[in-house]
Amino acid sequence: MTMNKLLAYALALLALAPVLSATPAQAQQGPLRIEITEGVIEPLPFAVPTFQAETGGAGAYAEEISRVIAADLSGTGLFREIPSSAFISNVTNFASPIQYADWKAVNAQALITGAVAESGGQITVKFRVYDVVSGAELGQGLQFTGTADGIRRIAHKVADTVYSRITGESGYFDSRVVFVSESGPKNARRKRIAVMDYDGANVKYLTDAESLVFAPRFSPDGTRVLYTSYETGQPQIFVLEVGSAQRRSLGTGGGNMAFSPRFSPDGQAIIFSLEQGGNSDIYRMDVNGGSIQQLTSSPAIETAPSFSPDGSRIVFESDRSGTQQLYVMSANGGEAQRISFGPGRYGTPVWSPRGDLVAFTKQNSGRFHIGVMRTDGSEERLLTASFLDEGPTWAPNGRVIMFTRESQGADGAPGLYSVDISGRNLRRVPTPDAASDPSWGPLQN
Amino acid sequence: MKKITLVALMVGTLAISACSQDRFNAADAANSGANAGGVNDPTSAAYFNQSIGDRVLFEVDQSTLNPQAEAVLAQQAQWLSSNQAYSAIIEGHADEQGTREYNVALGARRASAVQSYLIERGVAPNRLKTVSYGKERPLAICSDESCYAQNRRAVTVLTTGAGT
């Protein structure tokens, strides 16, 4: 498959070049600022008048780009879109001065204006962000250029810029998620590795449904995916190139079962579980082959390892205490500290990209939860509860978690959901079929 | 959007034309009867699967063999000793109450417990392989204990040919 190439060509990005003879960027300390804390309950109202079409063929693009930007911002739960039906004035010329009073009157606090031009297959999008309350531009005007099939990415870039200017944190809209697409009845599920935009758009399949697969994991640079496949009859670890969908076995298992792989932060090593004589331990190996290093050695189940972002430590689950619990050890193995102590069982820990938190699945009293705790186990917070929630993955900015939620019963099926780490803004991520095991990739370049 | 819809339709088609996994069990269960190879032929896989029993069940989160399981496995071992043309893949499975990776590891424990028992009872190790499917291949699909109990299993799947 060539979809990654397509995307790469699609977006010959003019790297955030300020091209407009705009007022210089101001270090804005005014009221247009969302501090993302537990306390944010009231989303910030914003308006995105449909971007101006500056050339004949650009109208449809302008419409779609404006809708994607609005959906990205609203989808965070931190922003609320003011519908265009409420607008008093409209923006008819990207260069005209803003009528702040008209936007204040409809209670918009942020205003995003833009213009789209199409020329020889190239789409150019210019935009500006305004702080309506202060009556000033927020940052400088920017433009992005790409081809028509990359316009959703351009829109995500614009929304990331707006999010970043208003929250002070990096965005996550121009990112992709690799996951397992599922079809068929519960006792004969067919599973394929698939990749999509973070919002469920642009689904592409990376494997066929011939072999059972699970738990794909993006490489830190988003170009490769580790996953477990039964292609050989035994669970074994494969790596595939997202761009070409070429796959190869990592030869990790020999005759034994190998599963639950993850990349190191530099993408050079993998950590995974290897089963021998019924017992699963955690191992590390170079992704290009080479010797295998054993990191845990106990008769307990040790699995689901995840590196800290600096690569120095590994969080994993073990039932060495009698039930599944979370432990942290050095990246070279050795003694491990237990960090989960609440009631119930804890599994599938994932270190946050900021390094401050561990997300996990918790089972207690017949319910499943997605939760987060500090890396020493303190400040545990459960974000969700259902019949079966599992397998959290972090947005690249560490603000949002995506996970699998499976419904109950003979017709039960999994779907993908996202939730803010505050526990608010639970949303279903649309997928064409049932879906599980999301792994959120990096912010794209 | 067109692209996405098109691909989704293809998945639907694949699911309909999905063929079942190529297993000895399924093929033999179909022609069970009084004939050679049927359920009344004590050297047949159908006899093994139905009269001896090809599977044992486990308690929640356990891989310990209970007396009932041991009785079945003792007969399996005896049958395998007298029917040297067969080898076996022991599949370990878990119910859906658990995380995916843990259940793969738990299924591996269960398969291994069966393998060890059969070896203890004289079956050559090179005739027995194990594989874990975790919770990926439930037999019963409801979400209560009546189904879960059937899914927490290890199945001895016969294969023809000498061991490796």
Pick from A359, A367, A361, A305: which is nearest to A333 by CA? A305
Q: Do A190 and B96 touch (CB under 8 A)?
A: no
Q: Tell me how far CA of residue A100 lies from CA of A88, A92, A105, A140, B153, in angstroms.
A: 11, 14, 8, 17, 68
By three-state DSSP, how is residue A280 classified?
A: strand
Q: Which two tokens stand for residue A367?
A: 């319910």
Is some CB atom of chain B closer than 8 A to the CB atom of A412?
yes
Those of residues 21-50 in B touching chain A at CB distance below 8 A are: none
Average pLDDT over residues A253-279: 94
Q: Does the pLDDT at position B30 exceed 90?
A: no
Average pLDDT over residues B13-36: 42
Residue A254 has a pLDDT of 74
- pLDDT for A181-211, tens place per residue? 999 999 999 999 999 999 999 999 999 999 9
Contact A308, A263 (CB under 8 A): no
Work out how many CB contacts closer than 8 A connect A with B. Answer: 140
**Domain with B87 in it:** 54-160
Give the CATH number, domain containing residue B148.
Answer: 3.30.1330.60
Contact partners, residue A322, CB within 8 Å, separation at least 6 = none
Q: How many CB atoms lie within 10 A of CB A348?
A: 29
Residue A288 has a pLDDT of 86
What interface predicted TM-score (ipTM) does this complex get?
0.90
Within chain A, all domains assigned CATH 2.120.10.30 are found at 175-443
Residue B162 has a pLDDT of 56
Query: Rg of chain B's alpha carbons, rounded to an integer?
Result: 18
More confident residue, A83 or A14: A83
Across all residues in chain A, what is the average pLDDT?
91
Residue A36 has a pLDDT of 58
Residue A138 to chain B, least CA–CA distance (Å)? 34
- pLDDT for B73-97, tens place per residue? 999 999 999 999 999 999 999 999 9
Residue A9 has a pLDDT of 27
- pLDDT for B98-138, tens place per residue? 999 999 999 999 999 999 999 999 999 999 999 999 999 99
Residue A32 has a pLDDT of 66
Average pLDDT over residues A82-108: 93
Is residue B112 included in any domain, yes or no?
yes
Those of residues 364-403 in A touching chain B at CB distance below 8 A are: 366, 387-388, 390-391
Residue A433 has a pLDDT of 97
Q: Which two tokens stand for residue A134?
A: 């202060």
Judged on CB neighbours under 10 Å (0-12, 13-18, 19+), A88 is exposed
Chain A residues with CB inside 8 Å of B138's CB? 186-187
Is residue B77 included in any domain, yes or no?
yes
- pLDDT for A388-442, tens place per residue? 999 999 999 999 999 999 999 999 999 999 999 999 999 999 999 999 999 999 9
User: Chain B interface, mutation test: which of A213, A303, A327, A403, most B Cβ atoms within 10 Å?
Assistant: A303
Chain B residues with CB inside 8 Å of A181's CB? 11
- pLDDT for A358-392, tens place per residue? 999 999 999 999 999 999 999 999 999 999 999 99
Is residue B48 included in any domain, yes or no?
no
Q: Please spell the DSSP secondary structure of B35-97, one letter per residue.
A: STTSTT-TTSHHHIIIIIISEEE--TT--PPPHHHHHHHHHHHHHHHH-TTEEEEEEEE--SS
With tokens 């071992």, the residue in question is B77
Contact B83, B123 (CB under 8 A): no
- Residues A251, B108, A394: CA angle, nearest 5 degrees: 70
Q: Which residue on chain B is closest to A272 by alpha carbon?
A: B101
Query: d(Cα A412, Cα B140) in Å, to the nearest integer?
Result: 12
Q: Do A303 and B111 touch (CB under 8 A)?
A: no
By three-state DSSP, how is residue A225 classified?
A: strand
What is the tally of structural domains in chain B? 1
Strand residues in A169-301 grouped as ranges (E) = 175-183, 190-197, 204-205, 213-218, 224-229, 236-241, 247-249, 258-263, 269-276, 279-286, 292-294
Is residue B133 included in any domain, yes or no?
yes
Q: Does the pLDDT at position B21 exceed 60?
A: no
Is residue B13 included in any domain, yes or no?
no
Amino acid, res. A96:
S
Q: Does the pLDDT at position A35 exceed 50?
A: yes
Nearest by CB to A278, which of B4, B113, B141? Answer: B113
Contact partners, residue B54, CB within 8 Å, separation at least 6 = B25, B48, B76, B155, B156, B157, B158
Query: d(Cα A178, Cα A439) in Å, to the nearest integer?
Result: 5
Give CATH for domain A3-27+39-167: 3.40.50.10070
Residue A441 has a pLDDT of 98
More confident residue, A252 or A378: A378
Q: Do A188 and B18 touch (CB under 8 A)?
A: yes
Q: Does the pLDDT at position B6 exceed 80?
A: no
Q: What's chain B's length in residues?
A: 164
Average pLDDT over residues A253-260: 87
Q: Do A406 and B96 touch (CB under 8 A)?
A: yes
Chain B residues with CB inside 8 Å of A412's CB? 141, 143
Nearest by CB to B137, which of A187, A235, A410? Answer: A187
Give CATH for domain A175-443: 2.120.10.30
Residue A13 has a pLDDT of 28
Q: Does the pLDDT at position A251 exceed 50?
A: yes
Is some CB atom of chain B closer than 8 A to the CB atom of A260?
yes
